[in-house]
A and B are shown apart, each in its own frame.
Chain A
Amino acid sequence: MRLLDWFRGRRSSGKEVAEQRLRLVLAHDRANISPGMLEILKDELIKVISRHLDVDPEKVEVKLTRDQHETRLVADIPLRPITRSRG
């Protein structure tokens, strides 16, 4: 299979790499926030939310996404398994 790909010239998709990198770079450029700033923002978010909820800091993901004219800050913040304590 690999060999076949090699013959077809599919060994490395420089195009996809370029596209992915551009998507990220443009999202950061447009929002005027560097990847480092985003890390700081993520740490602060974890701190604030941890005051109220049991957050799993290892699994928190904060990123910028961009399609056409819209840039979005997307935060995925999983909580630690909840032991139900009603009442």
Chain B
Amino acid sequence: MRGKIITISSGKGGVGKTTVTANLGLGLALLGQRVICMDADIGLRNLDVMLGLENRIVYDIINVVEGRCTLPQALVRDKRLRTLRLLPAAQTRDKSAITEADMDRIAHQAAEIADYVIIDSPAGIEHGFRYAVKPADLVLIVTNPEVAAVRDADRVIGLLEADGHVPARLIINRLKPALVRRNEMLDANSVVDLLAIGLIGIVPEDVGILAAGNRGRPVVLDEKSVAGQVFRNIARRLQGEDVPFLPLKAPSFLKRLFGAY
């Protein structure tokens, strides 16, 4: 049985697609699943640094498309979790180097040797978005609780609906519980209500995510991190488990005083 292909998309840039891809990839690998993360952002390669695998890349997805190497040759194996592999984007090419048919073929080929293929979509709704969602069995839409990000997410949902019937779920990223409590930020309920789409995770703003990006060690690997717990829970929900949502507490006064909040 071939694995499931999940595309992480958002419309708007900078909402945390790559962070989500890296953490869910590792989260599923932690559950013993064979995972291939594909960086579909040709020309703006990021997933490799998020995962801390940038030094071990030999080939990239365009080399596979052009037949210079096989798909397994291009995959970079994670040393921490050996069931996770990365198919890097090409950094010195652009999105026109790959077609929807290429992406579809490579993603399905990857799904033959993995339980999950997770595709990190480029921002925007043009060619890069279209080829990234083409092979998807499920699209996870990442948004932030902000007007512009929610608007773009709605546009993506509209395009997916117009384009066929690939199921989609929502991840709300960078929610600040303290601001929600003071009614200064959209809460998860309003965002879900506005977008009319099923929710699969709410990730609180977490300074640990910045540090994780610096080190190339995603928070999902940190057992003490709340954001890490959220990603581990989303991974379990993807596996079909019914996991209750975590209560989102605002950091305590002392933590706010001494921390970065």
Q: Is A86 an interface residue (CB 8 A)?
A: no
Report whether A68 and B196 are in contact in the complex, using a CB–CB cutoff of 8 Å.
yes
Chain B binding site: helix, strand, loop or mixed by DSSP? helix
Report whether A14 and B184 are in contact in the complex, using a CB–CB cutoff of 8 Å.
yes
Contact of B190 among A9, A15, A25, A30 (CB under 8 A): A15
Smallest Cβ distance from B111 to chain A, in angstroms? 31
Q: Please judge, given known A-B contacts A29-B155, A30-B158, whether A22 and B183 are in contact too, CB under 8 Å.
A: no
Chain A neighbourhood of B179, CB < 8 A = 14
Smallest Cβ distance from A53 to chain B, in angstroms? 36
In this complex, how many residues of chain A approach chain B with their Cβ under 8 Å: the count is 18
Chain B residues numbered 62-111 whose CB sits less than 8 Å from any CB in chain A: none
B residues near A (Cβ < 8 Å) are 146-147, 150-151, 154-155, 158, 179-187, 190, 193-194, 196
Interface pairs (27), CB distance under 8 Å: A9-B181, A9-B183, A9-B184, A13-B184, A14-B179, A14-B184, A15-B184, A15-B186, A15-B190, A16-B183, A18-B147, A18-B185, A18-B186, A19-B186, A19-B194, A22-B186, A22-B194, A25-B147, A25-B151, A26-B151, A26-B194, A29-B155, A30-B154, A30-B158, A68-B193, A68-B196, A69-B196
A residues near B (Cβ < 8 Å) are 9-10, 12-16, 18-19, 21-23, 25-26, 29-30, 68-69
